[in-house]
């Protein structure tokens, strides 16, 4: 199990979360697998102790009266999945239908980010940017501080953000911005 860097004393992330008063001393007790990264906290008002475990392709979150209880709840979900004969679908239980390739198990609610191929909606890019897309493009292209922060925090998503910026830029050039 790997501990998220903001919980590890001496890292810049730890320094920052200490400054923000968000540092919560805790030592995980469950037997999470090697490739798992974990983090935890007490949430904001109202206090809501939580524990999150990220395993490539999926994640588990538990809530509880204490962080230990939250971790136990997240771990119980992880253990429950192992015994399930999964039946995958694009429908999130009691929620939306996802077309981005994410899948949920209809029996146990397990989540996998890349269970299916993405459903491509032909022609979906042939339209002007809306306001929030235009704002997003502007920050992707011009807010260097934000981009540096995101690149540091989510280095694996860097390429995806660049692709997104390119796509929005092409759409804006061809179809324009928000139309009132």
Q: Which residues bind Zn ion (CB under 5 A)?
A: 84, 86, 105, 107-108, 110
Q: How far is the CB of 84 from Zn ion (least distance, A)?
A: 3
The residue among 26 and 98 lying less far from Zn ion, judged by its C-beta, is 98
How are beta strands 2-3 and 37-41 bridged, if at all?
A: parallel
Other beta carbons within 10 angstroms of residue 96's beta carbon come to 8
How are beta strands 50-55 and 58-63 bridged, if at all?
A: antiparallel
Q: How far is the CB of 89 from Zn ion (least distance, A)?
A: 11
Q: How far is the CB of 76 from Zn ion (least distance, A)?
A: 14
Q: How far is the CB of 80 from Zn ion (least distance, A)?
A: 8
The residue among 32 and 78 lying less far from Zn ion, judged by its C-beta, is 78
What CA–CA distances, in Å, run from 32 to 1, 9, 87? 6, 21, 24
Distance, in Å, from the CA atom of 37 to the CA atom of 154, rounded to the nearest integer, reads 14
Give the up-direction half-sphere exposure of residue 139: CA atoms within 13 A in the CB hemisphere.
12
The residue among 90 and 107 lying less far from Zn ion, judged by its C-beta, is 107
Q: For residue 11, what is the DSSP state?
A: S
The residue among 84 and 148 lying less far from Zn ion, judged by its C-beta, is 84
């Amino acid at each position: 199990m790997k501990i998220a860097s903001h919980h590890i004393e001496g890292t810049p992330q730890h320094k920052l979360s200490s400054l923000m008063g968000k540092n919560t001393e805790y030592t995980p007790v469950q037997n999470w697998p090697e490739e798992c990264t974990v983090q935890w906290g007490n949430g904001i008002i109202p206090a809501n102790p939580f524990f999150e475990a990220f395993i490539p392709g999926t994640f588990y979150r538990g809530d509880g009266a204490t962080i230990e209880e939250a971790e136990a709840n997240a771990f119980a979900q992880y253990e429950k999945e192992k015994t399930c004969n999964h039946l995958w679908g694009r429908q999130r239980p009691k929620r939306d239908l996802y077309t981005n390739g994410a899948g949920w198990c209809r029996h146990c609610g397990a989540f996998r980010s890349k269970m299916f191929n993405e459903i491509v909606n032909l022609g979906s890019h042939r339209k002007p940017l809306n306001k929030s897309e235009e704002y997003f493009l502007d920050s992707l292209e011009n807010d260097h501080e934000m981009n540096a922060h995101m690149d540091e925090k989510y280095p694996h998503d860097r390429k995806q953000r660049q692709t997104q910026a390119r796509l929005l830029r092409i759409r804006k050039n061809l179809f324009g911005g928000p139309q009132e």
